[in-house]
Homo-oligomer: A and B are copies of this chain.
């Protein structure tokens, strides 16, 4: 074991820096020089750990997906109550939106990248899968709640999933643009109103 840090850790460090720089400057405006300099390594080094700029961006993308998934999953682990699970998911997301405002540009870059066909990696597919999983998670909650008669039996679980997932993203972006100081409350109230519409009385 030489004094050199091992590859995996080095790669993780580079990724961390890349996240920072991509978030601050956007994908296009970010140069490999900038990342290398910020990381204190040579440019050639980056190319050893990541095939090219796009691969590096892809790594950031996957990191982001994992992070959000953990947030969502972590939110529902502690309770079996479906209503509470939905509350916690949106609350957790509001938390992310507040604590990680700096990721919004990154987030938007992912989408923009996904929507362009020129990119070698197929972000669109990855992103679609990600959103599918989120919706599936929500649908599962709703359906279980329906079985337990907590949610009305005629609720369209898929529609609610679309609304919640889309709404959370929309909240994220709008809050970034307009910076409301009561984001948690807004998210909470919106969630409650929606819940009022789907729970059995």
Q: Which residues of A contact B (CB under 8 A)?
A: 24-29, 104-105, 108-109, 111-112, 114-118, 124, 127-128, 131-132, 135, 155-156, 158-160, 162-163, 165-178, 180, 185-190, 192-198
Contact = CB atoms under 8 A, between A and B. Distances in A.
A112 B112 contact: yes
A168 B180 CA distance: 19
A163 B197 CA distance: 14
A115 B26 contact: yes
Given A167-B166, A176-B115, A178-B131, A193 B108 contact: no
Given A159-B185, A193-B159, A118 B25 contact: yes
Contact of A169 (B156, B173, B197): B173
Contact of A171 (B28, B166, B176): B166
A195 B127 CA distance: 30
Given A112-B109, A177-B127, A198-B197, A186 B165 contact: no
A169 B169 contact: yes
A186 B198 contact: no
Given A29-B116, A166-B174, A193-B198, 11 more contacts: A29-B118, A108-B111, A114-B177, A124-B177, A156-B190, A159-B186, A162-B186, A166-B168, A169-B170, A195-B197, A197-B197
Nearest to A158: B186
Contacts of A127: 177
Contacts of A194: 163, 193-194, 197
Nearest to A170: B166
